[in-house]
Chain A
Amino acid sequence: MAEPLLSVEHLDVSYDGAVQALRDVSLEVAAGSVVAVLGSNGAGKTSLLRAVSRALGSYGGAVTGGTIRYQGVDLAGLDTSTVVRRGLVQVPEGRRVFRDLTVEENLRAGGFTVRDAKARDEARDRVFDLFPVLAERRTQLGGLLSGGQQQMLAMGRALMTSPQLLLLDEPSLGLAPLLVDQIGEIVTTINAQGTAVLLIEQNAVMGLRVADRAYVLEVGHVTAAGSADELAASDDVRQRYLGAAAPERPAAVVVTEPGIPTAEAPKRLAVEGLTVRFGGIAALSEVSFAVEPGTVHALIGPNGAGKSTCINVLGGAYRATEGRVTYGEDELTALPSHRTAGLGVARTFQNISLALEDTVEDNLLVGRHRLMRSGVLASALRTPGARREERAHRSTVRDIADLLGLGPLLHVPVHSLSYGNRKRVEMGRALAARPSLLLLDEPVAGMTHGESQEMAETIRQVRRDLGLSVLLVEHDMPFVMGLAEQVTVLDFGKKIAEGTPAEVQRDPEVLRAYLGASAA
């Protein structure tokens, strides 16, 4: 058997000399093959890629044991630039295109190490063949591309060096299923042209479909390895990562009495003829729907459908160009954004925006800000009134933390929490303002099937215990199906369907536009 292109043996990686990210990881990538590494957030997948691409140093990480050999050469002591020149390139997680550079300049930066002008022109032509849309948009800024196009640009950028081994970090993250299929096909095409691929994914469906071999990484360990088919057949993997065989979890909700002062009763949210334009482009056109008091309503659609724009208008971050949004008697679209919160509307953000160095409690207290009565002076002087008020806020925050299962973590800094728990803190901060309507922007983005099931349970419980309405924006269809009473589907800024999850799931328009090839 020929020597593998890449062999990782007994690799240990730690950050800041303390946090151990990988322990005794071994894997191989044969020349011309596709290898997938599956695992949930925090499993150490990204650390593995960084170790191979020699980029750990800039994140404070270091290889503390084991070896990485590429083309038979030990990579210890080499820097990123050197391994790139030897044909080993990483595409970073989250695409990370250079937003202020044009598509062409992005590719040029990708081919930085290629000194031969002819070789580079050929590489660029290959990239344009593979991604014709990039050729069309070659003079546009990277930041103006859609999510899927940015992923293509990120891959095209790496292909500029004509690599022998391409490292892909979560290429399907945050993309709609149709695009995930497309990216999968592209990976297969790239591989067919002779490039070996090491791909890390939490979307096991995608990972196992394109890979020859796969490894499962959990908390820094390899827990399973084998051919893609073997793993796809393994019950454990199916249950954990594919969601296919996973039974609906029993609704074992511990009904606690949260003792949280009840918010005002939820009111009806009505969106009527909402249109939002940026420059000449309509992000939303004449969208209307209503959220009935006390229900969970889902707004779904592929990337770029206008979901985030819609929630940003509701939260007051964007102005509506036309149309109106009313909550009960109040017209949200006529109010400045800081007043929205005063009406009992709170939101979470797609990208977690927490103060990482502060404790969970402090982050949750930020959500109480609107309700704080003591002035700056009274707080600073710690008057009895201010102290009493502070105690009341802390107690409310503790109740919310208990409800979300964050009780034991109250005094832990946020940066040491797992991704799922951070998402919970984000939700808790919104809940701390005692809203009667909670807007959730992609609450399970980046979570494995198992994690998103837990999140669904949390949302159900919050709705039940606090009696509020929830509007959630999501593109994870199965997640929404088990949770929402009503679903509104957007595509290209227009409403294309509405109804119960079951109705929407059968709508041929939705199947075609949203679920893509795999649903056909």
Chain B
Amino acid sequence: MSYFLTQVLNGLSYGLVLSLIAAGFAIVFTSTGVLNFAHGSIVLLGAYLVAVLHPTIGFWPAMLVALFGAALVGVLINALLVRNLADPEPGAAAILMLGVDIVLLTELTRRIGNQVLPVGAPWGASVVRFGDIALPTGRVVAAGVTVVAFAALWYLFSRTDLGVGMRAAAADGPTASLMGIRLSRTAATGWALAGVLAAVAGVFLTSFPSPGVAPTIALSAFAAIPAWVLGGFDSVPGAVVGGLLIGLTSALVTGYEGDLEHVLGAGFGEVAPYVVMIVVLLVRPSGLMGSKEAVRV
């Protein structure tokens, strides 16, 4: 039983980190309609900044710089590239983002080299024990921070002018701009928020039980894509549920791989998230919480 609980807690805490990344995808998508395939390298960038800065300025200041840095890169990508796109089609923007991803990733890979850079998180490799279940402290902190982050997002989107303005702009840009809402500002805010979430997720993805920053982290961030898609492209709550579902699924499938191997084959844990995504999309094509493309006939 405690083994099962361990795997469930592992899955949920990892899932929360995935949901941070998935929420970043969703926010950029709703605020600018862009499928941001460069999000993975922004996650890596956030973690990288913490890794190189923490020895000199300490972990928390480095974290702060990383949040600003990742947000700034997001805002710049939007301001310099997305807004100047000659053909503002989602497809063109997505391909542009793939290009940005390659550029960012290549540069970061070059800088990181074959090192594994520790991010110097103060919780180190310590664990928190609940009875006979041990959970890495980093994951407990991650769960706490994620819950706080989502509470803050909820407050922003439902209780502040800026958040309501962003939702209005997402729902109907031209009309929102008639209310005096500057779409360039709401878009920039969306990109900045996604950058902040990416940096936070990056630090948790690279602190214990992961050893540190290596270029593959950008790929790990792509594990959040099924979470984003199955939650519904444009829904932050959907991203949370999607992240938890994906985290739980991969932890349980991996944890019971020995028992499942005869049925599903080895390595099923790696594809399980995509299987879950496809099953969900077959039943609900717009995702768990995505808005339906309903046309009144």
**A residues touching B (Cβ–Cβ < 8 Å)?**
53, 55, 58-59, 79-81, 84-85, 89-92, 96, 98-101, 105-106, 108-113, 157-158, 161, 308, 312, 317, 349-351, 353, 441
**B residues touching A (Cβ–Cβ < 8 Å)?**
158, 161, 164-165, 167-168, 171-182, 291, 295-297
Option from B174, B180, B297 in Cβ contact (under 8 Å) with A81: B180
Evaluate contact between A112 and B175: CB separation under 8 angstroms. Answer: no
CA of A294 to CA of B200, assembled, Å: 69
CA of A81 to CA of B182, assembled, Å: 6
Option from B174, B176, B182 in Cβ contact (under 8 Å) with A109: B176
Evaluate contact between A81 and B167: CB separation under 8 angstroms. Answer: no
Evaluate contact between B167 and A98: CB separation under 8 angstroms. Answer: yes
Option from B161, B171, B173 in Cβ contact (under 8 Å) with A58: B173
Evaluate contact between B177 and A113: CB separation under 8 angstroms. Answer: no
Option from A80, A312, A349 in Cβ contact (under 8 Å) with B178: A80
Since A90-B178, A105-B168 are in contact, a sample of 15 more A-B pairs with Cβ atoms closer than 8 Å, ordered by chain A residue number, is A58-B174, A79-B182, A81-B177, A81-B181, A89-B178, A92-B175, A98-B167, A100-B171, A105-B164, A108-B164, A109-B168, A109-B176, A112-B165, A161-B179, A308-B296
Would A351 and B178 be within 8 Å (CB), given that A100-B167, A105-B167 are in contact? no
User: 3 closest Cβ contacts across the A-B interface?
Assistant: A84-B180, A109-B168, A113-B180
**How far does the Cβ of B188 sit from chain A's closest Cβ, in whole Å?**
14
Evaluate contact between B174 and A55: CB separation under 8 angstroms. Answer: yes
Q: For A58, A158, A353, A441, which residue has the most chain B Cβ atoms within 10 angstroms?
A: A58
Evaluate contact between B181 and A98: CB separation under 8 angstroms. Answer: no
Evaluate contact between A350 and B171: CB separation under 8 angstroms. Answer: no
Would A99 and B180 be within 8 Å (CB), given that A108-B161, A317-B297, A350-B297 are in contact? no
Option from A58, A85, A317, A353 in Cβ contact (under 8 Å) with B180: A85
CA of A53 to CA of B296, assembled, Å: 29
Evaluate contact between A161 and B180: CB separation under 8 angstroms. Answer: yes
CA of A59 to CA of B174, assembled, Å: 9
CA of A105 to CA of B180, assembled, Å: 15
Would A98 and B172 be within 8 Å (CB), given that A81-B182, A349-B297 are in contact? yes
CA of A58 to CA of B176, assembled, Å: 12
Option from A79, A99, A113, A441 in Cβ contact (under 8 Å) with B179: A113
Chain B residue nearest to A108 (CB atoms) is B164
Name 17 A/B residue pairs within 8 A (Cβ), A-sorted.
A58-B173, A85-B180, A90-B178, A92-B175, A96-B172, A96-B175, A98-B167, A105-B168, A108-B161, A109-B164, A109-B165, A109-B168, A111-B161, A157-B179, A158-B179, A351-B295, A441-B297
Evaluate contact between B178 and A98: CB separation under 8 angstroms. Answer: no
Evaluate contact between B291 and A109: CB separation under 8 angstroms. Answer: no
Chain A residue nearest to B175 (CB atoms) is A96
Evaluate contact between A112 and B180: CB separation under 8 angstroms. Answer: yes
CA of A92 to CA of B165, assembled, Å: 17
Evaluate contact between B178 and A92: CB separation under 8 angstroms. Answer: yes
Evaluate contact between A109 and B296: CB separation under 8 angstroms. Answer: no
Chain A residue nearest to B181 (CB atoms) is A112
Contacts of A105 in B (CB 8 A): 158, 164, 167-168
Contacts of A89 in B (CB 8 A): 178-180
Contacts of A59 in B (CB 8 A): 174
Evaluate contact between B179 and A84: CB separation under 8 angstroms. Answer: yes
Contacts of A351 in B (CB 8 A): 295-297
**How far does the Cβ of B183 sit from chain A's closest Cβ, in whole Å?**
8
Would A58 and B177 be within 8 Å (CB), given that A98-B167, A101-B164, A109-B168 are in contact? yes
CA of A157 to CA of B178, assembled, Å: 10
Chain B residue nearest to A110 (CB atoms) is B179
**How far does the Cβ of A161 sit from chain B's closest Cβ, in whole Å?**
7
Chain A residue nearest to B169 (CB atoms) is A109
**How far does the Cβ of B170 sit from chain A's closest Cβ, in whole Å?**
9
Evaluate contact between B178 and A101: CB separation under 8 angstroms. Answer: no
Chain B residue nearest to A105 (CB atoms) is B164
Chain B residue nearest to A441 (CB atoms) is B297
Q: For B168, B174, B178, B296, which residue has the most chain A Cβ atoms within 10 angstroms?
A: B178
CA of A84 to CA of B171, assembled, Å: 20
**How far does the Cβ of A28 sit from chain B's closest Cβ, in whole Å?**
22
CA of A89 to CA of B179, assembled, Å: 7
Contacts of B180 in A (CB 8 A): 80-81, 84-85, 89, 112-113, 161
CA of A112 to CA of B164, assembled, Å: 9
**How far does the Cβ of A454 sit from chain B's closest Cβ, in whole Å?**
25
Evaluate contact between A55 and B171: CB separation under 8 angstroms. Answer: no
**How far does the Cβ of B181 sit from chain A's closest Cβ, in whole Å?**
5
